[in-house]
Amino acid sequence: MTATQKYLFDLQGFLIVEDVLSDEECELAKRKIRERMEPLDKTPDGYDARGTWHSAWGLVNAGEPFTTLIDHPKLISVLTEIIGPKLRLEGNYSFVRSQGCPHFEMHGGHRGGRVNFRYYVHGDQIFTGLTVVSFTLQDIAEEDGGFACIPGSHKSDFHVPREDHKRLFAIDGPLVRNIAAPKGSAIIFTETLAHGAASWQGDEPRYGVFYKYNDRAATYGYRPYRTPSKETLARLTPAQRVFFNGTWEAFGPEDNPHNEYAET
């Protein structure tokens, strides 16, 4: 992680890393998502999805380019600085949203949430918990909608007052910004940041790809079906398989006492 990346991540609660995926890899990823995606009846907030939201789970089972992204050096150099030296990949999935879709309500925005939702700096070291890498498979301008956040809110020690929640956390409210990013980028953001997604306005649906990383000793969302299949695990390198180890830190078996090596 460079000094500039550290400055920007600390300031904003998110960071854009460009040129992670080539154009060809973005197109391949979209094709594989289209083959797997299923319509959602309701959005995660319980709104009628009206045919505008689809999801595809367990993307690493689809092979490249999703496999390479597990431990992409441009991402790991940041994630190991802000989460910890040993990481888990909790989830890897896509939401595909088409023009006029219901938005994704703002959530997060308070750093007092203990292990998964925390943010502080001690000395030169950032400490945060659950962190998302959101890959952009197309060029995204602010007016397209999509990922939205309140920059800097990951440092808030207070909850937004209940009486002002609706106004201040409105997706088109005074504090919220849509984040533009070029095709092939990764937006790395801490879940502690107040964030959500504005209704998508682009002609091509938004193919959002989300990899959720955590400290290897922590789990936020326990979803066994998000673990790659046995066949996929067998195809991964040992360095990639370790991202799917169980949630523990120490006193492991003699050959892996600190959860440093792949369990399978």
Ligand X SMILES: O=C(O)CCC(=O)C(=O)O
Q: How far is the CB of 95 from ligand X (least distance, A)?
A: 6
Comparing CB distances to ligand X, the nearer of 103 and 241 is 103
CA 10 to chain centre: 17
* Cβ proximity of 107 and 220 under 8 Å: no
CB atoms within 10 A of CB 166: 10
Summarize as ranges the residues that interact with ligand X (CB under 6 A): 95, 104, 132, 134, 146-147, 195-197, 208, 210
Q: How far is the CB of 179 from ligand X (least distance, A)?
A: 9
Cα–Cα dist 140/134, whole Å: 12
Comparing CB distances to ligand X, the nearer of 205 and 208 is 208
Name the closest residue to ligand X (Cβ). Answer: 197
For residue 85, whether the previous peptide bond is cis, meaning omega lies within 30 degrees of 0, is no
Comparing CB distances to ligand X, the nearer of 145 and 241 is 145
Q: How far is the CB of 82 from ligand X (least distance, A)?
A: 16
Cα–Cα dist 259/264, whole Å: 12
- Per the DSSP assignment, residues forming a β-bridge with 100 are none
Q: How far is the CB of 14 from ligand X (least distance, A)?
A: 11
Comparing CB distances to ligand X, the nearer of 59 and 236 is 59
Comparing CB distances to ligand X, the nearer of 24 and 204 is 204
Cα–Cα dist 96/37, whole Å: 8
Axis crossing angle, helix 73-82 with helix 3-12, rounded to the nearest 10: 60
Q: How far is the CB of 98 from ligand X (least distance, A)?
A: 13
